[in-house]
Amino acid sequence: MSNPSTAQSSKSKAGSSQPYETTSFKRKRGVFQKDLQHMMYGFGDDPNPLPETVALVEDIVVEYVTDLAHKAQDIGSKGGKLSVEDFLYLIRKDLPKLNRCTELLSMQEELKQARKAFEVDEEKLASVE
């Protein structure tokens, strides 16, 4: 059985490691609900997971991303402006995340180049006509 004083002390320990939790603000819940349901299904969950489960996963994800953004802002190279390098620095020790991020960034760059080439081709085509 759970001891209420133990639960209270574990919450205070977890809260003390979160310096940004004191500046709380109201966030709109359920914003990522559909996306998370699809992701959870893609990773093997039920097609219609329990709403409580989706809400819990959303809370965990939002807390992680917020914490990561705050840390990136703290170590940021440009005063107050976040950069990709700040996030890459934070995840440098987590190789699967780092590899996936660099893969996605290179794919983004390839798509940007392809769009640019496509726009140039359209302009040439329009000028010929």
Q: What single letter denotes the amino acid at residue 26?
A: K
pLDDT digit string, tens, across residues 68-109:
999 999 888 666 788 999 999 999 999 999 999 999 999 999
Residue 58 has pLDDT above 90, yes or no: yes
Q: Which residues contact 18 (CB under 8 A, 6 or more apart)?
A: 67
Q: What is the mean pLDDT of residues 31-52?
A: 95
Q: What is the mean pLDDT of residues 31-57?
A: 95
Contact indicator for 51, 30 with CB cutoff of 8 Å = no
- Around Cβ 68, how many Cβ atoms within 10 Å? 14
The pLDDT value given to residue 69? 93
Tokens for 117, please give them: 């080439």
pTM above 0.85, yes or no: no
